[in-house]
Structure 1
Amino acid sequence: MNQLPGRLFYVMGPSGAGKDSFMQLVRARLPGELLVAHRYITRAAFAGGENHVELSLTEFQRRCELGLFALHWQANGHCYGLGCELDSWLASGLDVMVNGSRASLTRAQDRFGECLVPVLVMVDAETLASRLRARGRESEDEVQQRLVRALAHGQGLPDSVWRLDNSGSLQQTLQQFERYRRGEHLCV
């Protein structure tokens, strides 16, 4: 009997929407149901936010040359990669969640085809502004720029994208995700 391929939940959303927190909750609450993959990033591992594998630019470029990334991109002054281990996990029938990039969604769809399930984590503007200011990584001008970009983040995405409203509690966001996984349609 042939093994059905797993699904790749490709999580996107504006900075401050709570993608990392949501994925940490998924990792803690659904460990037997799906894997949460680490990204490889040319950013210090202690920089806060997501649990990732830190690589120097030289290490990152070498891994690109060796074809060790299933997908990679550049954003915000850093290089990001998803390892080829995804292919093995998906071929084994495992469901996997990754922190993706909206700008690389088309490449991800081309690369993973029907296995890819795009997931957009959204948050209302007031909550996003509050979160961005609270983390203290951006100036007020940068916060305003991120708010403008966030407005456009969900526009132009296909209807097939699972849209999760993370303006409330993480538990509510997880419940939305679980309803999508069960095939229930949401009105968000």
Structure 2
Amino acid sequence: MGDPFGRLFYLMGPSGAGKDSFLQLVRHQLAGELLVAHRYITRTASAGGENHVELSEAEYHQRRELGLFALHWQANGHCYALGCELDSWLTSGRDVMANGSRASLAEAQARFGERLVPVLLTVDAATLEERLRARGRESEAEIRQRLARAETHSRGLPVSVWRLDNSGPLQQTLQQFERYRKGEQVCV
């Protein structure tokens, strides 16, 4: 008999790699097969980007103190969290994908153990630079910082990480993910 618990696909990648677009595609095309968790963020929902639950600083800290977050971290001047609903979904046997943080990977591995499947979304440097410039959210200095950070982003990650190249069409990225899920592709 197999493991009754679901897997948590913990999506990571540099800003501009296309995580939000990939999550949206997964949400629509794999709806019957896995859930996509919303993050709780102290950033206005109208700022664009991912479909998240907007919280004020006070709401965030209150929920954190009440133990309502499975994981939480800070980055880019905001507070982020994944809700404890993840536990219910995984325990009921559902597979879940969540937009995580490389900086919190060790904490996520400690919390979820073998149920956690780290997934790294990558993109070639030229495409990443083009995407960062096109979205117009960062200054030239911030773009350079993000490009430098992206270059070192995958270093130090476990060999078990599923690496998805999102430099081409999103559908190809989803096909790569599906090959991993079905055991047709292995980590190298």
- TM-score, normalised to structure 1, is 0.97
1:40 corresponds to which residue? 40
Deviations 1:33-64 (A, max 9, x none): 00001000000001111000000000000001
Measured after TM superposition, the shift of residue 154 of structure 1 is 0.5
Q: 5+ residue gaps in structure 1?
A: none
Q: Matches of 1:97 and 1:38 in 2, distance apart?
A: 9
On the 8 A contact 1:118/1:160 being kept in 2, the answer is yes
Q: Matches of 2:97 and 2:3 in 1, distance apart?
A: 19
Q: Supply the RMSD in Å over aligned alpha carbons.
A: 1.4
On the 8 A contact 2:162/2:187 being kept in 1, the answer is no
On the 8 A contact 1:3/1:92 being kept in 2, the answer is no
Aligned-partner residue type, residue 89 of structure 1: W
The correspondence of residues 17-56 of structure 1 with structure 2, limited to 5 A, is: 17-56=17-56
On the 8 A contact 1:42/1:79 being kept in 2, the answer is yes
Q: Matches of 2:149 and 2:9 in 1, distance apart?
A: 23
Alignment partner of 1:113 is 2:113 = yes
The correspondence of residues 78-157 of structure 1 with structure 2, limited to 5 A, is: 78-157=78-157
Measured after TM superposition, the shift of residue 187 of structure 1 is 7.6
Aligned-partner residue type, residue 152 of structure 2: A
On the 8 A contact 1:11/1:97 being kept in 2, the answer is yes
Number of aligned residue pairs: 188
Q: Matches of 2:59 and 2:128 in 1, distance apart?
A: 34
Measured after TM superposition, the shift of residue 109 of structure 1 is 0.1
1:171 corresponds to which residue? 171
Measured after TM superposition, the shift of residue 185 of structure 1 is 1.9
Aligned-partner residue type, residue 84 of structure 1: C
Aligned-partner residue type, residue 182 of structure 2: R
Q: Matches of 2:167 and 2:186 in 1, distance apart?
A: 16
1:5 corresponds to which residue? 5
Measured after TM superposition, the shift of residue 3 of structure 1 is 6.7
Measured after TM superposition, the shift of residue 184 of structure 1 is 1.4
On the 8 A contact 1:40/1:52 being kept in 2, the answer is yes
Measured after TM superposition, the shift of residue 134 of structure 1 is 0.0
Seen in structure 2, the aligned counterparts of structure 1 residues 69 and 127 have a Cα distance that, compared at 3 Å, is same
Q: Matches of 2:157 and 2:44 in 1, distance apart?
A: 31
On the 8 A contact 1:3/1:91 being kept in 2, the answer is no
Q: 5+ residue gaps in structure 2?
A: none
Identity %: 77
1:181 corresponds to which residue? 181
